[in-house]
Amino acid sequence: MANHSAHSATTPVAGPSGGHADSGAHGGHGHDVSKEVRKYMLVFGALLLGTLITVWASYIDFGTPSANIVVALIIATIKAALVGAFFMHLIDERKLVYGVLGATIFFFIGLMYVTLWSMEPTSFIHLKR
């Protein structure tokens, strides 16, 4: 439990660098907010550009409806990766999170394959007895 006494709130504690322990939000290190804001603004600009590209691509006929869907999904995947990496802070996470994410993607693709395969009339599920 945290110590919420008045004494601990008024007594400064020296951190490892000799300064106060509460000098920054991340373990006593200074935090440059302008760099973070610049990063978020660049990602926001990339998402706006991605939205414009999505709208532009929606007016282009890529030959088949399937090709149009693939292009839209590629753009959406890039935008989702930007949101996940920067706004959800997944870019700073440990390898375990990426392992769980990779396993989720692997099993999702596998289940989608099994679902589509079972809908084929020639699969063994549809064999007549």
Average confidence score pLDDT of the chain: 79
Give the model's pLDDT for residue 41: 95
Instruction: Indicate if the pLDDT at residue 121 is higher than 50.
Output: yes
Residue 29 domain-assigned? no
The reported pTM is: 0.54
Residue 127 domain-assigned? no
Give the model's pLDDT for residue 109: 92
Q: The tokens of 71 are what?
A: 């292009």
44 and 76 together in one domain: yes
41 and 83 together in one domain: yes
Q: Are 12 and 20 in contact (CB under 8 A)?
A: yes
pLDDT in tens, 67-111: 898 899 999 999 999 998 888 887 877 777 778 888 999 999 999
Give the model's pLDDT for residue 92: 77
Question: Can you give the residue range of the structural domain that contains 103?
Answer: 94-118
- d(C-alpha 104, C-alpha 106), whole Å: 5
Residue 16 domain-assigned? no
Instruction: Indicate if the pLDDT at residue 50 is higher than 90.
Output: yes
Q: What do you get for the CA distance between the two ends of the chain, in Å? A: 66
Count of the separate structural domains present in the chain: 2
Residue 19 domain-assigned? no
Residue 94 buriedness (CB in 10 A; 0-12 / 13-18 / 19+): exposed
The sign of the CA dihedral 35, 39, 45, 49 is: positive
Residue 129 domain-assigned? no
Give me the mean pLDDT over the 6-13 stretch. 50
